[in-house]
């Protein structure tokens, strides 16, 4: 098996409203994932998940920027081309032990 694989997640040309729906869904899903991860850490270990605490505000900020960008192009009746690949690298477990 290769050490890296790429999967196409988004590849298309979208209206402003479609773009907002797609990107909001992706970012909201990641925010929710980290919120649940943090909640789980708090319940199980009594402290925040360090990665989640960092990622949640980063993702929220990115989503805010996306909303602003889409609002600016919506008035001009433009479309957005969105491409997103998921790149998976296989990492030996010894790096995390």
The model's pTM: 0.86
Q: Which two tokens stand for residue 53?
A: 């605490």
Name residue, tokens 């996306």.
66
Give the residue among 22, 2, 21, 20 at the shortest CA–CA distance from 11.
22
Looking at the structure of the chain, the number of domains it has is 1
CA gyration radius, the chain: 17
pLDDT 10s digit of each residue in the chain, 97 long? Answer: 788 999 999 999 999 999 999 999 999 999 999 999 999 999 999 999 999 999 999 999 999 999 999 999 888 889 999 999 999 998 888 755 5
Distance CA 34, CA 76 (A): 35
Domain ranges, residue 36: 4-96
């Amino acid at each position: 098996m290769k050490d890296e694989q790429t999967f196409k997640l988004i590849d298309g040309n979208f209206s402003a409203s479609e773009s907002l729906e797609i990107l909001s869904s992706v970012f909201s899903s990641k925010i929710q994932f980290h919120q649940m991860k943090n909640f789980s850490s708090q319940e199980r270990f009594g402290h925040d998940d360090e990665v989640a605490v960092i990622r949640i505000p980063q993702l929220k900020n990115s989503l805010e920027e996306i909303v602003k960008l889409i609002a600016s192009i919506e008035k001009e009746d433009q479309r957005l081309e969105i491409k997103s690949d998921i790149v998976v690298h296989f990492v030996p477990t010894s790096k995390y032990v």
